[in-house]
Amino acid sequence: MDGFQMGMGRGMLKERGMGSWMGEGRKRGLVFRLAASSFRRNGTTYLPYLAACAFSVFVFFVFSLIINSDVSRNLPRVAYATMLLVLGQSLLCLIMVPFLCYTNSFLMKRRKRELGLYRILGMERKHIGWMIFWEALFVLVLALALGIGMGLLFAKMLFLVLLNLARLPLQATLSYTVRPFLETAAYFGVIMLLNLAWNLVQVYRVRPLELEMESAKGEKEVKHLGLWSLAGLFFLCAGYGTVLGSQFDSGIFNDFFCSVLFVVIGTYFLFTSGSVRFLKTLKGRHGFYYRAENFITINGLLGRMKKNAAGMANICIFSTMAIITLTCTVSLYLGVPSIMDYRYPYKVQAQFLPGMGFQEEEGLEGAVDALAQETGVEVRDYQGYFVLRCTGLLRTGEIVPDMGASAGKRVALELVDLEEYLRLAGSVETLGPTEVLLYTAGPDYGSDSLTLAGEAFRVKKELQEASFFPKNKEDKLSWQEHYAIVLPGEEALAKAAASFGLDASAQRIFQMECNPVGTQEAVEAFSQRLEQLLSSLPGFAYYVDHGEEMSNDESMYGGLLFIGIVFGLSFLICLLMILYYKQVTEGFEDQRNFEILEKVGMDKAEVQGTIRRQVSMVFYLPMAGALIHVAVGLKMVILLMGAINLFEPWLIRGCAAGVLLVFAALYVFAYHQTARVYYRIVHRAEVDSLGAKPYNS
With helix as H, strand as E and coil as C, how does 198-263 read?
Answer: HHHHHHHHCCHHHHHHHCCCCCCCCCCHHHHHHHHHHHHHHHHHHHHCCCCCCCHHHHHHHHHHHH
* Comparison of pLDDT for 626 and 644, the residue scoring more: 626
The pLDDT of residue 186 is: 92
CB < 8 Å & 24+ apart, contacts of 364-369: 364/512, 364/537, 367/533, 368/512, 368/514, 368/530
Residue 674, pLDDT above cutoff 80: no
Residue 501, pLDDT above cutoff 60: yes
The pLDDT of residue 18 is: 41
The pLDDT of residue 526 is: 92
Q: What pTM, to 2 d.p., does this model score?
A: 0.71
Residue 11, pLDDT above cutoff 50: no
The pLDDT of residue 344 is: 85
Average pLDDT rounded to a whole number, residues 507-526: 89
The pLDDT of residue 211 is: 52
Distance CA 336, CA 551 (A): 12
Q: pLDDT band at residue 6, thresholds of 50, 70 and 90?
A: very low
Q: pLDDT band at residue 358, thresholds of 50, 70 and 90?
A: low
- Tell me if 578 sits within 8 A of 318, measured CB to CB: yes
Judging by beta carbons within 10 Å of its beta carbon (0-12, 13-18, 19+), is residue 465 exposed, middle or buried?
Answer: exposed
Judging by beta carbons within 10 Å of its beta carbon (0-12, 13-18, 19+), is residue 487 exposed, middle or buried?
Answer: buried
Taking the alpha carbons at both ends of the chain, their separation in whole angstroms is 17
User: DSSP secondary-structure letter at 404?
Assistant: S
Angle at which helix 362-375 crosses helix 520-535, to 10 degrees, equals: 150
* Comparison of pLDDT for 264 and 619, the residue scoring more: 264
Average pLDDT rounded to a whole number, residues 600-611: 64
- Widest CA span of the chain, in angstroms? 110
Residue 208, pLDDT above cutoff 70: no
* Comparison of pLDDT for 568 and 169, the residue scoring more: 568
The pLDDT of residue 499 is: 85
Collapsed DSSP state (helix, strand, coil) of residue 160: helix
Average pLDDT over the chain, rounded to an integer: 75
Q: How many angstroms separate the Cα of 317 from the Cα of each of 104, 351, 392, 567?
A: 19, 52, 46, 14
- Tell me if 611 sits within 8 A of 297, measured CB to CB: no
* Overall size of the chain counted in residues: 697
The pLDDT of residue 101 is: 81
Look at 387-396, 465-474, 623-632 and tell me which has the smallest mean pLDDT: 465-474
Strand partners, 513: 349, 383
Distance CA 88, CA 60 (A): 10
* Comparison of pLDDT for 120 and 16, the residue scoring more: 120
- Tell me if 256 sits within 8 A of 636, measured CB to CB: yes
Residue 2, pLDDT above cutoff 50: no
- Tell me if 55 sits within 8 A of 41, measured CB to CB: no
- Structure confidence by residue, pLDDT tens digits, 638-664: 888 887 788 888 999 999 999 899 888
Residue 13, pLDDT above cutoff 70: no
Residue 106, pLDDT above cutoff 90: no
The pLDDT of residue 289 is: 58
Look at 17-26, 113-122, 365-374, 559-568 and tell me which has the smallest mean pLDDT: 17-26
Residue 533, pLDDT above cutoff 70: yes
Distance CA 143, CA 444 (A): 58
Whole-number percent of the chain with pLDDT over 90:
7
Residue 405, pLDDT above cutoff 60: no
- Structure confidence by residue, pLDDT tens digits, 245-279: 877 766 677 888 888 889 988 888 887 776 666 66
Distance CA 303, CA 312 (A): 13
Residue 190, pLDDT above cutoff 80: yes
- Structure confidence by residue, pLDDT tens digits, 550-598: 877 777 777 777 777 777 777 777 777 777 777 776 666 666 666 666 6
Look at 16-20, 106-110, 239-243, 637-641 and tell me which has the smallest mean pLDDT: 16-20
- Structure confidence by residue, pLDDT tens digits, 119-129: 666 667 777 77
Q: pLDDT band at residue 609, thresholds of 50, 70 and 90?
A: low
Average pLDDT rounded to a whole number, residues 70-95: 65
